[in-house]
Structure formats: structure tokens, C-alpha cells
Structure 1
């Protein structure tokens, strides 16, 4: 019986109890990638992870926001050019990819990785037009 649980866990492909990712583990997983996130089955947005813990976020509307991330107290926190107040998330990794749980004041949100690529996002830039 003591071999059944580890065998079952390996067959399922996910840990029995996922632990939040450390900053180093998060960086190793995301570095150089663009990750697309969904929430409740709907497209939420995408983030490109650049060297030096820099990021670009988009709600996939062509507008990209530059920012950076840092680890803090078991969470991964993000600050962006238009929003300097930290937005902290707890990330867990399973065989299906990342799951991110927002740790904000009274708000609960859970995003999950829907796709990843090495290609950059499409960004049109601010105030493009006539």
C-alpha cells in the first residue's frame, strides 16, 4: 500500500499537494516565454517574461504594459508602468502548467496557463492613430 500513492501521483502527473513556487523556480519556468492565461474558461491576458525579471503584460487588446516582478514572502509580485502598487500572486506548477492565485485585498482571482510560446506578443504601442 505504501507504493500505491506515489505510483498514483506519478500516473496522474501532478503533485499530491502543490507548493507555491519560489522566485528562482518561477524565473526558471517563465524566462524567455510568453504565457497566455485564462480565467473561468475565458481568455484573460498574456505576459512576456524578459531578462532581468522584466515583463510585458497585455489583455490581448494590442496595448502592452511594461513592468517587473519580484519574490516576496512566498508570492510573486508585479509592478507595472501604469500601476506601481504591487499585485501579488501565488504560483503553483503542475503537469498542466501554472496556476496563479491573486493575493489582493478581498479579491479572489485564479488564472491558469492556457498556452505558452517563445514568440513575443503583438503590441501596437500607446496612442497609435490619426
Structure 2
């Protein structure tokens, strides 16, 4: 009985006070984002937005920046990866849902402090002119 109490205390002391988080599967991710635009904060400030289409195409725009078109896919490790027209190197992320309902994106190998945190989810289209229109 004492061992159980000591083990419980050890777990409580070593457990981070942060919220519990769960990695979202690719199927859950698709259901959550398809047809929507997610607006992200980083370090408590607006960072960028991404619009998700039915066929896994995306448009990303840094806050106040230009638009980048790309696609997303699931890699063999279950991460959500993005490839954009201007950079063929995949950027892979874990998308996490916390127990308070927040939605985080963590770049592979980055610390939680660098997470992108969803500020807003809507159906608004990003203001991105099509390429070669001269607009």
C-alpha cells in the first residue's frame, strides 16, 4: 500500500502542470480542417492562417505576408506534413488537442513553447490572388 502511495506521489511530482494533450490522427485532422480556415497565434501574437480544401490542398499566409499554395499528407509516423509550391521539402507537424479544447500544431523536433495555437476557426477564404493574374 505504501509503495502505491509513493508511486502516486512520484507521478504527481514529475507530471507537468500543463494541460494534457492528444495527437490528432490524420482522419480526425481532415474532419476538423476540410473546408475551413484556421488562424494561428505563436508566442501569443497572430502568426498566420491556413485554408484547407477538400482535396488536401492548402493555402498558407503568414500574418501580413504573401500566400503559399501547397498540399498536406500523412507520413509513415502519423504526422501531418505540408509541401508548398516554393519549397519541396516537407514540413511535418503533430497536431494536438488539449483537454481544454485548444488545438496546437507542433513542428517536428520543436519545443511546446513554439507551438502554433489556433486562435479562430472559420470558413472565410484567405485573400490570395491566383498566380499569373497580375493582381
What TM-score do you get using the length of structure 2 for normalisation? 0.74
CA-CA distance at 1:110 after TM superposition: 1.0
The answer for the alignment partner of 2:85 in structure 1 is 81
Residue-pair matches, total: 112
Q: Distance in 2 between matches of 1:125 and 1:51?
A: 18
CA-CA distance at 1:62 after TM superposition: 5.4
CA-CA distance at 1:64 after TM superposition: 1.3
What TM-score do you get using the length of structure 1 for normalisation? 0.76
CA-CA distance at 1:125 after TM superposition: 5.1
CA-CA distance at 1:17 after TM superposition: 3.5
Q: Distance in 2 between matches of 1:25 and 1:19?
A: 12
CA-CA distance at 1:53 after TM superposition: 0.9
Q: Distance in 2 between matches of 1:52 and 1:35?
A: 17
CA-CA distance at 1:122 after TM superposition: 1.1
**Does the 8 Å contact 1:63/1:124 carry over to 2?**
no
Give structure 1 stretches of 5+ with no counterpart: 1-15
CA-CA distance at 1:97 after TM superposition: 3.0
Select the structure of larger CA radius of gyration.
2
Give structure 2 stretches of 5+ with no counterpart: 1-18
**Does the 8 Å contact 1:91/1:98 carry over to 2?**
yes
Residue 47 to residue 33, structure 1, CA distance change in 2 (3 Å): same
The answer for the alignment partner of 1:71 in structure 2 is 74
The answer for the alignment partner of 1:112 in structure 2 is 117
